[in-house]
Amino acid sequence: MNRNINRVVPRGCRSSDWDFATVLDVAAKEPGSTVIGPFGSNLTARDYRPAGAPVVFVRDIRAGQFEWVSDTWISQAKANELHAHTVRPGDVVVTKMGLPPGISAVYPQDMPAGIVTADIIRIRPDVCAVRAEWLSLALNAHHAQRQVAAITGGVTRPKITLQDFRQVRIPVPPLAEQRRIAEILASVDESIRSTEHLIAKLRTARNGFVADLLSKGISESGRLRDPVMSPNGFVATRLGLLPASWRIGQVGAACSLVIDCPHSTPRFVRSGVLVARTFNIRNGAFSCSRASFVSEDEYRERISRAEPTVGDVIFTREAPVGEAFSVPLGMRICLGQRVMLLRPDCAALDSQYLVAQIYSGFVRERIDLLTAGTTNPHLNVADLKKILIPLPPLREQREIGLLISRFDEPARAAELELEKLELLKCGLTEDLLTGRVRAERT
């Protein structure tokens, strides 16, 4: 162990029997062990090749994971000229800039040796002191990120220099404990990736099924209508070929109420009445994982125009546009910012059918058209009211909504499982990387 490694515990860490060191202390003491000097000033797009040595950019490092999205190569001869910037499997790569800077990942074993750009710091770990997986985890943890934030604070485009980054201090448990912590968190990451893959497959299957339901509908026998087998059952409309029993209306006319949110920031409190915020509304449901609350007095102020009730649809008009959910029985909630409330006319429009159209039907197509090509996509109440929507008989709307809801159940269950896994990872990361919970005892 390097003699500079000591037991001065940085703020945020709790294990007084762990060693602590700077990044420089745990870097391999070999020529070219960390990136120094400017990166190939004469490197241009003309140097890029379809194969050779990969080039690593900031965008390849996201949330502590390495994913080579750049797909950029230079010739091996050019890479040899830039040998001081070589990255090998098992090295740790760190972003010098970004929001935030200082995010790291391990360069994977299945990648060939490559070259890092000027906005990347490469660390070759001293294998006698630190494992690469632990080093990356420790650099992404709160205590290291706080140090980076303190160094780069107050700058419009934060960027950390190599000289400053070398002095960032991290905990250095025994190698066996480093390995065990990395294994535990890698196991959770694998479960998260598997669940994300399952959700993607379920959503892909859903999209085709729902698109057919929202354009063809269900016959009285409970089957999906077929315009080829029953051409007389369909008519040409402004929205294309639709069942003859359907009509077309505007969203505003099919709703008894369409209102915007109060144009003020809610005064949040620790507990109270729920607030509908844009980041809580995803895939037709409201997520309580990061729920926000307001007091009773604030709630009454925010429902002065309308109190959300069961069956109302809350719709995000900005950041992002076009997420929505139907207020379930027993939910007490008010509107936050950048959302609208739609109250379907119970004689004309079913709320679950409306939500389905917002995500997958003709309403979705129009939303995408209205917001395409804008820097800050948003939709106002007047535009939403004018959007055309196919209106099957109410009975059929409810059957369509029920079928979609049943089809969505496996994906919703997987999404809840994903939320639990992400919360588990967050808690485990904090506990294990600060020493609050010791890996040898888990």
In terms of residue numbers, what domain contains 51?
A: 19-172
- Shared domain for 101 and 166, answered yes or no, is yes
* Structural domain ending residue among the three candidates 172, 194, 210: 172
CATH number (domain holding residue 50): 3.90.220.20
- Shared domain for 376 and 400, answered yes or no, is no
Q: Does 37 reside within a domain?
A: yes
Q: Give pTM, 2 decimals.
A: 0.67
- Shared domain for 30 and 138, answered yes or no, is yes
Each residue's pLDDT expressed in tens, for the chain with a length of 442 residues: 444 555 444 455 555 578 888 999 888 877 655 554 456 556 777 888 988 999 999 889 987 789 998 889 999 999 898 888 889 999 999 998 877 888 999 999 999 999 998 888 999 999 888 999 999 999 988 888 889 888 887 666 788 888 888 888 988 888 888 899 889 988 998 999 999 999 999 988 888 889 899 999 999 888 899 999 899 999 999 999 999 999 999 999 999 999 999 999 999 999 999 999 999 999 899 988 789 999 999 999 999 999 999 999 999 999 899 999 999 999 999 999 999 999 999 999 999 999 999 998 899 999 999 998 877 899 999 999 999 999 999 999 999 999 998 888 898 899 889 989 988 988 888 888 887 877 765 4
* Structural domain ending residue among the three candidates 391, 417, 434: 391
- Shared domain for 139 and 44, answered yes or no, is yes
- Shared domain for 360 and 422, answered yes or no, is no
CATH number (domain holding residue 211): 1.10.287.1120
- Shared domain for 185 and 63, answered yes or no, is no
- Shared domain for 181 and 280, answered yes or no, is no
Q: Does 129 reside within a domain?
A: yes
What domain count does the chain have? 3
- Shared domain for 336 and 353, answered yes or no, is yes
- Shared domain for 120 and 149, answered yes or no, is yes
Q: Does 7 reside within a domain?
A: no
- Shared domain for 194 and 88, answered yes or no, is no
Pairing outcome for strands 114-116 and 53-56: parallel
Q: Does 93 reside within a domain?
A: yes
- Shared domain for 314 and 427, answered yes or no, is no
